[in-house]
Homo-oligomer: A and B are copies of this chain.
Amino acid sequence: MSTLHIEVSPGSPVPIYHQISEQLQSAIERGALTKGDFLPSEIELAARWGVSRPTARRAIQELVDRGMLVRKRGVGTQVVNAQLRRAMRLSSLHGDLMRAGRKPSTIVRTFAQQPADQQVAEALEIAEGTPVHYLERLRLANGEPLALMRNWLITPLLANTAPEDFHATGLYEVLAGRRIRPRLAQQVISAKAASLDEAAVLNLPQGAPLLAMWRVMQDDTGRLVEVGDHVYDAGRYSVEMIVMDG
């Protein structure tokens, strides 16, 4: 239990509850606490960590939210998952492939301004015909085509951007450089058969199953910023996520 020792830096810009939850998480991940183990009570933990009970509770809550801990009134707090099962995030395919070590590369097929069609205009809540940036990319992993990605972005966003800017990095990384912070997205995931064009581009037989994703993204100011319509080679890509109740 002494391995549960936690260091807090009161002067740090990172909140105390978060410092604690990060260290608690690594303690669990490295096996200092394993599935089924109970944590000491909140009162005791607060005393041990030198913080108030609400702060200790908030640190614990972060791990409860991520599915590592379960609280039961009158009983205690218990470890239910030794390692973190990561929730789905607003992440870019490029970053995901990088982390998986699959060597992403990108071919920019189109990058231009054009008037928004009815569907895009509706999603972005702008008038039909308003100029938007249209970006069409082919994403490859280890040199093989994996996804055809079409995006529409509201127009002030990508000023002074060249197609080359998308070669070594993902769209969301480019947006981050423009101080655009994604906050939430509405997604629809479906499946479809590859059209003739899609099949040709992705190097698949016509009619091959594709995983399709339609997305509308909102930034941290509440602005509707981007629409994405992506199709993935179903044999080589799937979507993983954690779904929580309550």
Contacts and interface: CB of A to CB of B under 8 A. Distances in A.
A90 interface: yes
B191 A210 contact: yes
Given A70-B221, A88-B241, A191-B212, 12 more contacts: A70-B183, A80-B218, A85-B184, A88-B243, A89-B243, A90-B245, A181-B245, A183-B244, A183-B245, A184-B245, A189-B239, A192-B234
Contact of A193 (B88, B209, B221, B238): B209
Copies of this polypeptide in the complex: 2
A211 B239 contact: no
B191 A191 contact: yes
28 contacts: A67-B184, A78-B222, A80-B221, A80-B222, A81-B222, A85-B184, A89-B245, A90-B244, A181-B245, A186-B241, A187-B241, A187-B242, A187-B243, A188-B238, A188-B239, A188-B241, A189-B189, A189-B211, A190-B211, A190-B234, A190-B237, A190-B238, A190-B239, A191-B191, A191-B232, A192-B209, A193-B209, A241-B241
